[in-house]
Amino acid sequence: MFLRNSRFMEDVTDYLNNNKFNESVTEFAESMFLYGAAMKKVTTALEIFDNEFQVKSDYNPIHHIESRLKTPRSIFKKLETRGLPVTIRSIRENLSDIAGIRVICNYIDDAYTIARLLTDRPDIELIEKRDYIKTPKPSGYRSLHVIVNVSVELSESVVKIPAEIQIRTIAMDYWATLEHRLKYKNEGKVPEGFHAKMKTYSEELADMESKMQEIHREIEAGSVNDTL
């Protein structure tokens, strides 16, 4: 999979040629395979939940699921930025977001439901939870980040591989997409003058979400009549 990927080969070979990475492409590919397996396992679990909700319930908390594996170039750059060695061991010890899964939900309550369902599984161990919904970042960013160890069953062993799961609502994802776009257009920084606006918009979205959440709770409880 990885050795046949031209971008993968280009990224790793570039670092090998510049003596920044002293391990073989094959060793790196084997390591990345494990992260890919962990990502696939979490994604499969979420897809099963998604299908179950569609069949057994009249409400599905999962809107959609996204996943990505960090590119070698991105991994190496992150290690160098932190002043860390560019080695497989360093990757395993210092980076927990190589395998990334994002779950987009409809309501705030759904984010916590999905986090609980995932971490209740015996093969997904909770390592850390960063709740940027209850305590948003100074920028206004809101999301629930869950760092887990995923048990990957190989032919002769079981290994635990870290993965990061971001769980957020449609509104939170909309805001984060806009912020990312602003940073992408301006060398990784939100342009001066937009900080206050973005934080205000985040607060307004949070207020609206809270109100919509209450309506949803009333609907689920059966306390909303036809005249609503």
Domain ranges in the chain?
6-171
* 119-165 pLDDT per residue, tens: 999 999 999 999 999 999 999 999 999 999 999 999 999 999 999 99
The pairing of strands 99-105 and 158-169 is parallel
Please say if the pLDDT value at position 182 is more than 90.
no
* Calpha distance 63→73 (Å, rounded): 31
Mean pLDDT of all residues belonging to the chain: 88
**Burial classification of residue 194, based on how many CB atoms lie within 10 Å of its CB (0-12 exposed, 13-18 middle, 19 or more buried):** middle
Structure token digits, residue 10: 């280009």
* 92-128 pLDDT per residue, tens: 999 999 999 999 999 999 999 999 999 999 999 999 9
* Calpha distance 199→126 (Å, rounded): 30
Which of 21, 165, 196, 168 minimizes the C-alpha distance to 96?
A: 165
pLDDT of residue 189: 74
For the whole model, what pTM was predicted? 0.86
At the second CATH level, the architecture of 6-171 is: 2-Layer Sandwich (3.30)
